[in-house]
Amino acid sequence: MLLASSTVAQAAAPAAERAPGGETIRVLVAADEESALAAQMTGTVVAVNAKLGWHIGAGQALVQFDCKEPEAHLKMAQAEFYGAQQTYESKIKLQAMQSVGELEVQQAAAAAEKFKAQIQLYQAQLKYCTVKAPFSGRVTKLRVKAFESVAVGQPLLEVVNDRKLKLQLNVPSAWLAQLKVGAVFAVHIDETAKDYEARVQRINGRVDAVSQSVEIEGELRGNAADLLPGMSGTASFQNMPKR
- Domain boundaries in the chain? 5-32+164-236, 35-66+129-160, 69-127
pTM above 0.75, yes or no: no
Non-local (6+) Cβ contacts of 161 within 8 A are: 31, 32, 33, 34, 135, 136, 137
Non-local (6+) Cβ contacts of 30 within 8 A are: 2, 3, 165, 166, 167, 168, 229, 230
CA dist 227 and 32 (Å) reads 13
What's the pLDDT score for residue 242? Answer: 67
User: Does pLDDT of 236 surpass 70?
Assistant: yes
Instruction: Return the H-helix or E-strand segment holding 94.
Output: helix 68-96
User: Does pLDDT of 159 surpass 60?
Assistant: yes
User: Does pLDDT of 230 surpass 90?
Assistant: yes
What's the pLDDT score for residue 14? Answer: 39
69-127: CATH, from 1.10.287.470, 2.70.98.90, 2.60.40.10, 3.30.110.60: 1.10.287.470
Query: Residue 13: which pLDDT band, with cuts at 50, 70 and 90?
Result: very low
Q: Do domains 5-32+164-236 and 69-127 have the same CATH topology?
A: no
User: Does pLDDT of 8 surpass 70?
Assistant: no
CATH code of the region 35-66+129-160? 2.40.50.100
- CATH entry 2.40.40.20 includes domain 5-32+164-236: no
Query: Residue 16: which pLDDT band, with cuts at 50, 70 and 90?
Result: very low
Region 17-42: what's the mean pLDDT? Answer: 81
The neighbour count for residue 239, using CB atoms within 10 Å, is 8
What's the pLDDT score for residue 38? Answer: 97
What's the pLDDT score for residue 27? Answer: 97
